Structure 1
Amino acid sequence: MHHRTLGGGDGPRISALCLGAMPFGTTVDERTAFALLDHFAEAGGTFVDTANNYGCWVPGATGDESERVLGRWLRSRRAADRTVLATKAGARPDPARGPRWPANAEGLGAGALRTALDGSLRRLGTDRVDLYYAHIEDRTVPLAETVEALAGFVRDGRVGTLGASNHATWRLAEARQHAAARGLPGFRAVQQRHTYLRPRPDSPTGLQRETDEELLDYAAAHPELTLLGYSPLVEGAYTREDRPLPDRYDHPGTVIRTRVLAEVAAECGATANQVVLAWLMGGAVPVVPVLGVSSVAQLDECLAALDLVLDPYQRARLDTA
């Protein structure tokens, strides 16, 4: 397993791949989740990602499921000290805000964040998380309130590093500037949707935000900021005929990029998934892919991407397709 530093020189060491726990306890049962976590750890993986609302959209689920499964695994394997643990706040359903999610998301107010962190620590069975994200933008709350509340968690020792997910680049930059001006810990990681294919410019974003050129430029100018990419393999659509591409990628550019991706994969003797992961990890702005897998075989395919090195010509073809 390759490793890197999260959020700059004094951040924790993390594995170059992050295991996403979003489906654990809902569409991935606990036994399978434990097998995935065990296999990832045996391969040298140390970085695991969850949130306090995963998977609240599954019928009958509440949002507790992923954190609870992960907490049980951490305790049963005594793995807390060797796991870099990330979770998120801001998108959990709050019944007091109405019956429908995501309209009733808890938001990023100071009180909501305190309640969210207390709940996450309880479900995870720990007194600290290594990386804590503001999960989705909340423009109803002053940015200063969110930044200062999160900084308080770092000061109290309950959070190690702060991150933002699904935020516009200008909001990320403004939040970091506010923190820096006041000597507060600011966002040192950002997690957005990121894959090889590019979405249509007019595709609706909803809660999720794609990594775009503006964010890549910002990350290149601020190397202390770690960029993570979720849904890097678009739910299996690169390699499975039963998984069509999401509508956001339905445009002529996808045809060209898919063809070049297949050509490079054939040259490398690799799968398209492995080429996508290698392309993300080895770019000018290195990305930590957050893996969404549901079987050990899928995880093994992803782990093999760590040993795949694209030559400059292959990378240039992929970049310019």
Structure 2
Amino acid sequence: MTEESVPVATPPVAITTSPTRVTTDRITTEQTRAIVGSTPAPRRRIGPSDLQVFPVALSGNVFGWTADAAESERVLDSYVAYGGNFIDTADSYAGGRSEIIIGNWMRARLSRDDIVLATKVGKSADHAGLSARAVTAAVEASLRRLRTDRIDLLYLHIDDPDVPFEETLLAVDELVRAGKVRYFGGSHHTGSRLIEARIASAQLGVARMIALQNHYNLVFRREYEEGLARVAIDLALGVMPRFALASGFLTGKYRSKADLDGTRRAEVGRFVNRSGLRVLQALDAVAAEHDSPPATVALAWLLSKPNVVAPVVSASAVDQVFDLVAAVDLSLTRSQLTSLDRASA
């Protein structure tokens, strides 16, 4: 399980299988009621926008890659059945196949108005970079693949130093004015670049960023907490952590070098050390107290942090979904949060 695009050679990580398993190819209304019940699913607002989202975003980074179309649709059905409404993808995921699968699923389920749809531009081979021409062409291509007339949240997937911010911001603003993009945010941007973008937006009188998707989890804290957290608060940016489970390390599957297969050594191997295992030990203790898997606790820890709206996580099989969405109902005590903070400091 990962939360961002990954090299083709890298296999997905399976998280702990939940005892609650969806067995049909398509979730029925009756099953949805049985699972969700009458209590409305929780929602969080993204920054100053009117976007209200489920506190765990489902990434489409494995759709069309390690999850075929049929399994991807089952994952999407299961996520929605548990109350999810926030789907995250990118024009570069599986060469655009992720967007195609999601678009076909939305059209078949007639669910577009019930979904907050996020995608990213800047990394695709066809429309690389953030020039005005590239951004406009990339969005138009994404709209066709997604079979929709608007993108709820568009991320700039890269920080393109070769293009003046003003050019990118004006291009995005035109798309917002045309109704093709509702809101936009940053990704892979430093705090200073986010501030620069806000200043430029004010000077130009154009739409401003309302969201940030950044690398943040229990074993990778410093970049966000020391460099971006204050900026996110000052600029009122809703934060969507990617790599929320550290490429699968925080599921507890990898505890020694022997657990690493050859294709995941570079991604996960850097965490299999004394400090990483200390974090897993703390996760295990809290997980045991809640009778929950470590992955659920790791996501609940993120959801306790200021400005965090929804961690972005993926599932390559339907039986992985429950452990992800269960995090929204897991309340960690102050003592448990302190234990996790200390172990991962």
The interval holding the TM-score normalised by the smaller chain is: 0.7 to 0.9
Name the structure 1 match of 2:201: 179
- Whole-Å separation in 2 of the counterparts to 1:285 and 1:159: 23
- Whole-Å separation in 2 of the counterparts to 1:231 and 1:267: 25
SS of the aligned residue for 1:288 comes to coil
SS of the aligned residue for 2:186 comes to strand
Shift of 1:109: 0.4
TM-aligned CA distance change 1:248 to 1:215, over 3 Å: farther
- Whole-Å separation in 2 of the counterparts to 1:41 and 1:65: 20
Instruction: Work out which of the residue numbers 218, 226, 237 in structure 1 matches 2:249.
Output: 237
- Whole-Å separation in 2 of the counterparts to 1:86 and 1:79: 15
TM-aligned CA distance change 1:48 to 1:123, over 3 Å: same
2:134 is equivalent to residue 112 of structure 1: yes
SS of the aligned residue for 2:210 comes to strand
Instruction: Work out which of the residue numbers 332, 336, 340 in structure 2 matches 1:310.
Output: 332
2:306 is equivalent to residue 267 of structure 1: no
Q: Is the 8 A contact 1:235 1:292 kept in 2?
A: no
Which structure dedicates a bigger proportion of its chain to helix?
2
- Whole-Å separation in 1 of the counterparts to 2:72 and 2:135: 27
Instruction: Work out which of the residue numbers 44, 48, 61 in structure 1 matches 2:83.
Output: 44
2:115 is equivalent to residue 83 of structure 1: yes
Instruction: Work out which of the residue numbers 198, 211, 231 in structure 1 matches 2:220.
Output: 198
Moved more, 225-234 or 82-91: 225-234
- Aligned-pair identity (%): 36
Name the structure 1 match of 2:52: 13
SS of the aligned residue for 1:7 comes to coil
- Structure 2: gaps (5+ residues): 1-40
Name the structure 2 match of 1:121: 143
- Whole-Å separation in 2 of the counterparts to 1:304 and 1:180: 40
Q: Is the 8 A contact 2:212 2:238 kept in 1?
A: yes
2:65 is equivalent to residue 33 of structure 1: no
Q: Is the 8 A contact 2:247 2:268 kept in 1?
A: no
- Whole-Å separation in 2 of the counterparts to 1:74 and 1:167: 31
- Whole-Å separation in 2 of the counterparts to 1:211 and 1:67: 28
Matches within 5 A, 1:155-166: 155-166=177-188
Q: Is the 8 A contact 1:231 1:292 kept in 2?
A: no
Name the structure 1 match of 2:25: none
Name the structure 2 match of 1:154: 176
Shift of 1:7: 2.4
Write the letter of the residue equivalent to 1:74: M
Name the structure 2 match of 1:286: 308
Name the structure 2 match of 1:214: 227
SS of the aligned residue for 1:187 comes to coil
2:166 is equivalent to residue 144 of structure 1: yes
Write the letter of the residue equivalent to 1:106: A
SS of the aligned residue for 1:297 comes to helix
Q: Is the 8 A contact 1:198 1:249 kept in 2?
A: no
Shift of 1:303: 1.5
Instruction: Work out which of the residue numbers 228, 234, 240 in structure 2 matches 1:228.
Output: 240
SS of the aligned residue for 2:311 comes to strand
Q: Is the 8 A contact 1:92 1:106 kept in 2?
A: yes
Q: Is the 8 A contact 2:58 2:88 kept in 1?
A: yes
Deviations 1:267-295 (A, max 9, x none): 22221101111001112333411111111
Deviations 1:170-201 (A, max 9, x none): 111211121123321111101012211127x8
- Whole-Å separation in 2 of the counterparts to 1:178 and 1:306: 36
Write the letter of the residue equivalent to 2:86: F
* TM-score (structure 2 length as normaliser): 0.80
- Whole-Å separation in 2 of the counterparts to 1:145 and 1:253: 43
- Whole-Å separation in 1 of the counterparts to 2:145 and 2:114: 18
Write the letter of the residue equivalent to 2:324: C
Q: Which 4+ stretches in 1 moved above 4 angstroms?
A: 242-245
Write the letter of the residue equivalent to 1:12: L
Name the structure 1 match of 2:3: none
Name the structure 2 match of 1:4: 44
SS of the aligned residue for 1:164 comes to strand
RCO comparison, higher one (Cα < 8 Å, 6+): 2
Across the two proteins, how many residue pairs are aligned to each other? 293
SS of the aligned residue for 1:126 comes to coil
Name the structure 2 match of 1:99: none
Shift of 1:240: 1.7
Deviations 1:211-256 (A, max 9, x none): 342111222333x310001121123223224456624435543233
Moved more, 305-314 or 245-254: 245-254
- Whole-Å separation in 2 of the counterparts to 1:14 and 1:192: 18
2:62 is equivalent to residue 23 of structure 1: yes
Write the letter of the residue equivalent to 1:153: L
SS of the aligned residue for 1:220 comes to helix
- Whole-Å separation in 2 of the counterparts to 1:33 and 1:46: 15
